[in-house]
Chain A
């Protein structure tokens, strides 16, 4: 039963090779209906390749891609119920805005009558707040407006899934933030499944229901943004998503570890005992103005960020730690100055234990 299939997209052991290069190394993936999924990962990890296999522009070397439960092997892009927003928009330069948006509707069989096409095009332009721009030529539009046309051109077809390949990368920061909010509300209102490719972790975390972190052609973790941030599956995710301090340590008992300088810190409970790596977020470390304690260091740098400040703290034998603190919580008085000696404590349970780096 296609119509009630719970997953809009499924990858079954998908491998993609380009000659000697393996871009995607055996991926299993399920994108639930109506979800907003972000594919996040460093450059060259295979995000675009995955998206292009959904769109039908690339064929998997092994395995299969399913859309709403139907195998897509051998199905060309023009027979797939998905639409793509290209990174550089790929608008048709010889057609005006209306004709660009109407393009997909005009290909549909049975034919949609002209009046109906015009109505839906107007509706789609209104949706992306471009009403009145229908007669414009593409080169008469700003980058942000072109972006909206590309979005309208895809969404007007009411696809099962909308694929977006770094659609906001070419926009300036302010416009990008505005478009992020707009994309999110469009997705909520239309209920269309979105798959968004990005290498901007903030974008992935803030916009999507599910983040799929990729590295070197593999999916490392797929979970909600909260889970990805709080419980990264491994060091790569911890390091790639958000800022993280990564320390070599030795776990002496569950919940207690010794750092390289010999100091003891509280870590999250784990089965592992012995050599390990500990990851802790900058905001999970507390600073106190005193030279004594288990873990002590010297502030070497401070970046004032308004409500918070970011400190670089040098701990002899351990290294440089990044600490984020909001001023009120730091101490009764104001900011700590570079050069001051501080004691560091970890929030209980916030220091995550991973296998030692050399053996990982």
Chain B
């Protein structure tokens, strides 16, 4: 039994450990470790294609996580006011959205967007006064939309859990002390749920930043970091890719750790 557990952990983490190890390899080949070096990090960060992909990923992650944090919180607040039956339906839908596989989200978003573009573009052409009407297509917007939808469900679930533990007592107390519903939200509800919103934002951010599958379907000609890595791997695994993977790994772990901290600290007090 112990041997089995050990085997599972080895299979799970050994490849990751190797990637990290070889990102520091002085040599070029993944077959032998010839000495410690940071050269691949330097190479990776001075590669203009890579930095562009990184910038794209950051913009997409920020925007989709930000949108999801705002609308997810609004959705969670809205769900509070529904009757128990309607609420159960929406709770189920949100939970389902989280377990839908990335491939399905990718294909579904792609199909839906292509259909939308087919209707929208002729209208744009018709309405546009100049000669070169803009054309809606895949790119930033479509990735942000696809990521945002998934993340919205994620944020809603997290904020909902926090709201449930808030209790109606302090909201009523605020209202009893002459605070309008808006003031109550701003000075009582928001400070209480803010850690959950922030945690939701961070989790949404890492999801979007690391996502390959969904982005691959709807990216069009845009390159995100995971897509860049995938493309460059086809030319062989270079230590440069190892360096990128290590950087993504470390930043993801850090962000998720902060999110966890935000969620647990509140529960303790």
Contacts and interface: CB of A to CB of B under 8 A. Distances in A.
Interface of A: 55-57, 76-79, 82-84, 86, 88, 90-94, 103-104, 107-108, 139, 153-154, 157
B7 interface: no
Contacts of B172: 55, 57, 77, 84, 86, 90
A76 B174 CA distance: 12
A192 to B, nearest CB: 15
A44 to B, nearest CB: 19
30 contacts: A55-B176, A57-B172, A57-B175, A57-B176, A77-B175, A78-B175, A79-B178, A82-B176, A86-B169, A86-B172, A86-B173, A88-B169, A90-B169, A90-B170, A90-B172, A91-B170, A92-B174, A92-B188, A93-B192, A93-B269, A94-B191, A107-B178, A107-B179, A107-B180, A108-B178, A139-B269, A153-B177, A154-B177, A157-B177, A157-B178
A118 to B, nearest CB: 17
A108 B175 CA distance: 12
A225 B170 CA distance: 34
B183 interface: yes
A57 B173 CA distance: 10
A93 B192 CA distance: 9
Contacts of A153: 177
B167 to A, nearest CB: 8
Nearest to A81: B178
Contact of A92 (B173, B175, B178, B269): B173
Interface of B: 169-170, 172-180, 183, 188, 191-192, 269
B175 A90 contact: no
A319 B192 CA distance: 59
Which A-B residue pairs are the 4 nearest by beta carbons? A104-B177, A90-B169, A107-B178, A90-B173
Given A86-B169, A90-B170, A90-B172, A78 B179 contact: yes
Given A93-B269, A94-B191, A94-B192, A78 B176 contact: yes
Nearest to A76: B175
Contacts of A90: 169-170, 172-173
Contacts of A104: 177-178
Nearest to B167: A90
B206 to A, nearest CB: 27
Nearest to B178: A107
Contacts of A78: 175-180
Contacts of B183: 107
B138 to A, nearest CB: 44
Please indicate which of the listed interface residues B177, B180, B183 has the most CB atoms of chain A within 10 Å of its own CB: B177
A91 B191 CA distance: 14
Contacts of B170: 90-93
A256 to B, nearest CB: 55
Majority-rule SS of B interface residues: helix
B176 A107 contact: no
Nearest to A108: B178
A273 to B, nearest CB: 53
Given A92-B188, A93-B269, A139-B269, A84 B173 contact: yes
Contacts of A84: 172-173, 176
Given A86-B169, A88-B169, A77 B269 contact: no
A259 to B, nearest CB: 51
A156 to B, nearest CB: 10
Contacts of A76: 175
Given A55-B172, A90-B170, A139-B269, 18 more contacts: A76-B175, A77-B175, A77-B176, A78-B175, A78-B179, A79-B178, A82-B176, A83-B177, A86-B172, A86-B173, A88-B169, A92-B174, A104-B177, A104-B178, A107-B178, A107-B179, A107-B183, A154-B177
Contacts of B173: 84, 86, 90-92
Contacts of B176: 55, 57, 77-78, 82-84, 154
Nearest to B169: A90
A91 B173 CA distance: 8
A163 B173 CA distance: 12
A72 B173 CA distance: 18
A250 to B, nearest CB: 53
Contacts of B178: 78-79, 104, 107-108, 157
B155 to A, nearest CB: 21
A107 B177 contact: yes
A55 B180 CA distance: 15
B95 to A, nearest CB: 28
A19 B191 CA distance: 34
A103 B174 contact: yes
A5 B180 CA distance: 27
B57 to A, nearest CB: 35
A91 B175 CA distance: 13
A207 B123 CA distance: 76
Nearest to A79: B178
A127 to B, nearest CB: 17
A104 B174 CA distance: 8
A83 B177 CA distance: 7
B266 to A, nearest CB: 10
A93 B267 CA distance: 12
Nearest to B171: A90
A103 B177 contact: yes
Contacts of A55: 172, 176
Please indicate which of the listed interface residues A55, A56, A88, A92 has the most CB atoms of chain B within 10 Å of its own CB: A92
Please indicate which of the listed interface residues A91, A107, A108 has the most CB atoms of chain B within 10 Å of its own CB: A107
